[in-house]
A and B are shown apart, each in its own frame.
Chain A
Amino acid sequence: DQQVKQNSPSLSVQEGRISILNCDYTNSMFDYFLWYKKYPAEGPTFLISISSIKDKNEDGRFTVFLNKSAKHLSLHIVPSQPGDSAVYFCAASSGGSTLGRLYFGRGTQLTVWP
């Protein structure tokens, strides 16, 4: 039972444009959400996170938006760069401040072309 879903397996964006990656979840107990980026043959790298008490968190080119009523979050990358090409995973936790177990989506392959 996939509690975190990334329905787009791939996304292709031109360099300089905005990349929007989407994620939906079903468990209303999730209170912390994270985005990870993964290159081949490497482990996932933490990008940005958001607590359920917020609806937006920004870090440089990366912004995560959370819509709790829709159980939906999105990651915006502006401007997109070729080095951003990777698989992006959305993850959620109901562990509060201890995080605990993370539930991952299946990932979205982002390709940024020149």
Chain B
Amino acid sequence: GENVEQHPSTLSVQEGDSAVIKCTYSDSASNYFPWYKQELGKRPQLIIDIRSNVGEKKDQRIAVTLNKTAKHFSLHITETQPEDSAVYFCAWSEGGGNKLTFGTGTQLKVEL
């Protein structure tokens, strides 16, 4: 499948700070970009998604921005809390269909 580059691979922030994770994709036909959160030993859970017809979407402390021209999208978490500590995966739909390709993940640690 096509590649998704995800950065950084690990991220450590102080409680209350913001965290930003960025993904770059290659298929210009993709129209759907979800983000998943996976706590240790558990299943990934969808936390937010965005479609190509909008540039930004926000849900409380979480936001996603999309730049289709540059082919990258980012997850923004504000006012981080210890329970935000997890692995976060970006994904995008291949060729405009429903099969998702996932990034390599970012281990976020929120320190007290």
Q: Do A and B bind each other?
A: no
